Structure 1
C-alpha cells in the first residue's frame, strides 16, 4: 500500500515553498533502507554547497521510477507540468542540435526533482549565462580492473603536481564509486574543444610521469591495470555526477568534496546520504570558495601545441559524436585493418 503524500517546507531566496512528496516511505536504496522522504530532506540539508556546485548551470537528471538497480532514464529539458521555479536554458549539443536544458536556481528545484524520482544530478562544466564556455576543467580518474581507489589517490597526487605547474589550482572529490574527480576553476575564455585539449595535455604529461600507473588509452584493451584519465568527460554535453549528488549505488554513496590533506585516509563508502549532512556540520564544505580565483588554460594549451609538434595528435571522441578533424580510427586496435588505416609511422 502506498504511503500517504506529505508536504515539505523548503526555504529559498523567494521564501518558503511547499512541495508535495508522494509515496514518501518508498524505499529507494533497499540495502541502506533509505526512503524517498530521506532523499528529499537530504537536499534541504545540503542546500548551500549543493547549489554552489550544481546550480545556475545546465543539468541532466538521472531518474529511477522504482529503486536503484532498476530501470532509469535521463531528463534534460523540464518535463511538462514542471513548476515555474524550475528554470531552463537553451544549449547546443555536440550534434549541433539546440534544446532547452534544466537549470537549478534554488534547492526547491532539487527537492522537486527528488519527487520526480531523480537520484543523480549531472551538471555541465559551464554556467547557464554562458553555456558554451566552461568555468571548470574536469578530469575523471577512472580505476580499471585490477586497480582501486588507492591507485586513483596516487594518480590524483601526481595530477595535482602537473596542474599546479600549469598555473591551475586543483580541487578534488570522490566520484561516489571507485574513482576520483579533479576540478580546476577556469576563466570562461575558451570553448569546450579547447578545454578538452587542455585536459589531454595534462593527462599526457601525467602519463609520461606515471606510465605504469595511468593511461590515456581510449580502448579498454590497451589500458591494462592502470588508472584511465578520462579526457572525454571534458566534452560538451558530457557530465559526471555533481558534488554532493547521491549515486545510484547500493550504499547510497555521495560524490563528496574532500581536502587534499585528508585524501590519503578517505574511505569513499562512508560518504552517504545519511552521513554527509553531519560531515558538513562538523568540517564544512571543502569546496567553499572554489570559484573565487579561476585560472587560465594557456599553459596547458601550450603543452597541447608542443605535443602536436611532436606528433601526438587528437584522441578518440565518444561514439555518438560526429567524426572530428584529426581523430584516430573509431575501431579497436586489435581489429584495425592496416590497409584501410595505416599507422602514423608506417
Structure 2
C-alpha cells in the first residue's frame, strides 16, 4: 500500500506494509492507525523535530514485545530521508535520521517506530544543544500530581535563570520541561546548568523533589533527572506515542492547562481531535531562546560555597572530569567498613 504524503518538496510516496498488524492489543490499535495518527499530527510534530538527529524506538512485535533503539539511519531508507552526523560519548560517529517533513515520520512509523527520541541539537551544530531539558520522574509513592507541583517550582527557577519552560506529559506518570536556548554552550555546560537549576528547585521543596542519582536516596519524591541532558541521552518528543498498553501520547501543554489534566486522556485516538480543536500549544516555543549564563553562575556558586560540583554520569559513559565515584552510597559504606576492619 502506498501513501502520498505532502511536504515542502512536494508529495512523497510512503510504503505501508502489514497495515492490519496489531500494535496495541489492549485497545486493538493497528499499524495503519499508528501511521494515520502520525500523519494527523505531522505538522506540529515536524516542527518539534525539525533538523534534529532522532533515535527511533521500534516495536517490531508490538508493545508486548521487546523494543530496540535505532541510532543510525536504517539501510534501504528513501533517498529523501535526510541525515546528519552525531558523535557519541565514546567518540564514535554515526549518521542519524533527521526529521524534515511529515513523510519521514510516516516512513519511520511504518518501520514500527512508536517513540521518536530527538537529540537536543540541530544538524547545523550537533555539539551545542539548543534545548535545555529536564525530566521530572515521580518515584514510587508519588505520581503525576506531585510532578505537576514540582514543575511549578521549576517554572519559577527557570524564569529566574532567564529561561522559558514548556511542559509536556511524558506519556506515563511524569513530566518533561524543555527550555529553548541559544546554541552557544556544549553538552557539559548545558548539563551543569540543568544540575544547578535542579538543585535550586530541591532546596526550595526538599520534601518533594530530589536530584539524588542513586535510587536508594530518593525516597518518595520527584527525581529531576539531570542526566537526560548528557550527550546521547534523549527524551521522547512531543506528540510521540509511547510504547505503553493504552497508547498514551507525550502531549505538549500550556502551564495554565497543566494542573487540570489527566495524562491518561491523551492517547493515539484522542489527540488528533484535541489538536484540531485547540491547535499546537508549543507552536511559538522557539521564538525567544534564552541562555545558560545565570544557571552556570549558580553551578559555580554551588561548587565554591557548598562544595557541590559534578554528579555521576550514566553508566555507559567514560569517566568524566571531576565526576565522583560511580558507586551506590550503601556499597561505598560497606566497602569502607570492610577495609577499615
Select which of 105, 112, 115 maps to 1:120.
115
2:106 is matched with which residue? 111
Q: Which runs of 5+ in 1 are unaligned?
A: 1-5, 342-346
Q: How many residues align?
A: 336
For residues 188-337 of structure 1, the aligned pairs below 5 Å read 188-310=183-305, 311-337=307-333
Q: Distance in 1 between matches of 2:94 and 2:292?
A: 28
Select which of 69, 77, 80 maps to 2:72.
77
Q: Which runs of 5+ in 2 are unaligned?
A: none
**Structure 1 runs of 4+ with >3 Å offset:** 337-341
**Cα offset, 1:55, TM superposition:** 2.1
SS at match of 1:261: helix
Q: Deviations over 1:187-207 (max 9, x none)?
A: 000001100000000000000
Contact 2:53 2:97 in 1 (8 A): yes
For residues 3-152 of structure 1, the aligned pairs below 5 Å read 6-152=1-147
Q: Distance in 2 between matches of 1:161 and 1:47?
A: 32
Q: Distance in 2 between matches of 1:57 and 1:35?
A: 28
SS at match of 1:150: helix
Q: Distance in 2 between matches of 1:155 and 1:95?
A: 34
Q: Distance in 1 between matches of 2:263 and 2:331?
A: 38
Q: Distance in 2 between matches of 1:188 and 1:29?
A: 38
Q: Deviations over 1:94-124 (max 9, x none)?
A: 1111111111111111111111111110000
Q: Deviations over 1:194-240 (max 9, x none)?
A: 00000000000000000000000000000000000000000111001
SS at match of 2:136: strand
1:157 is matched with which residue? 152
Q: Deviations over 1:119-172 (max 9, x none)?
A: 110000000111111110000000000000000000000100011011111110
**Cα offset, 1:338, TM superposition:** 7.7
Contact 2:49 2:100 in 1 (8 A): no
Instruction: Report the TM-score when normalising by structure 1.
Output: 0.95
